[in-house]
Amino acid sequence: MSGGIEVVQGDITRQRVDAIVNAANPSLLGGGGVDGAIHRAAGLELLAECRTLGGCAVGEAKLTRGYRLPARWVIHTVGPIWHGGDRGEDAALARCHTASLALAVGAGARTVAFPAISTGVYGFPVPRAARIAVGAVNAFLARTDAIYRVTFVCHGPDTFRAFDDVVLTLDE
């Protein structure tokens, strides 16, 4: 753990944290990947609440309850689709993290878990996403004591290594 950031390999739906972040799409009505896993684990009440939210723009975030998840809250954010890197993808990915943490603070959540947003179906290169995600979270944590711990929950070993490598550089 470095400056309140830790990296683990696992399933985000199992995390015992105050809030987990979902890598959603603008409809907020579910999908595959981590979005599908979160909806399956939380149950249909999550979808019902999502229907009331009117969707979500890329780089923004919306809050729901966690229902059957161990986490009390789900923060739904919409990552950018990778188009080669010169269409504002980096800034949008950073905004996802900042907006999600701002919602967490507003909800009183002190521990937050993120998946590797945009690195699955949306095609963002993992090492670059790791630099942006860890950088944005680290900058946010430097400005507040309201969040105690942020955990990046990586599904596979390559993603875990990429995020862990970036977090280790924070100590240097």
Per the annotation, the verdict on 35 as an active-site residue is: yes
- The residue among 72 and 146 lying less far from ligand APR, judged by its C-beta, is 72
* Least distance (Å) between residue 126 CB and ligand APR: 7
* Least distance (Å) between residue 17 CB and ligand APR: 13
- The residue among 50 and 141 lying less far from ligand APR, judged by its C-beta, is 50
What would the DSSP string read from start to end of the chain?
-BTTEEEEES-GGG--SSEEEEEE-TT-S--SHHHHHHHHHH-HHHHHHHHTTT---BT-EEEEE-TTSSSSEEEEEEPPPPSSS-SSHHHHHHHHHHHHHHHHHHHT--EEEE--TTSSTT---HHHHHHHHHHHHHHHHHH-SS--EEEEEESSHHHHHHHHHHHHHTT-
Residues engaged in binding ligand APR (CB under 6 A): 11-13, 23-25, 31-37, 79, 115-122, 153, 155-156, 159
- The residue among 59 and 79 lying less far from ligand APR, judged by its C-beta, is 79
Q: Which residues are catalytic?
A: 35
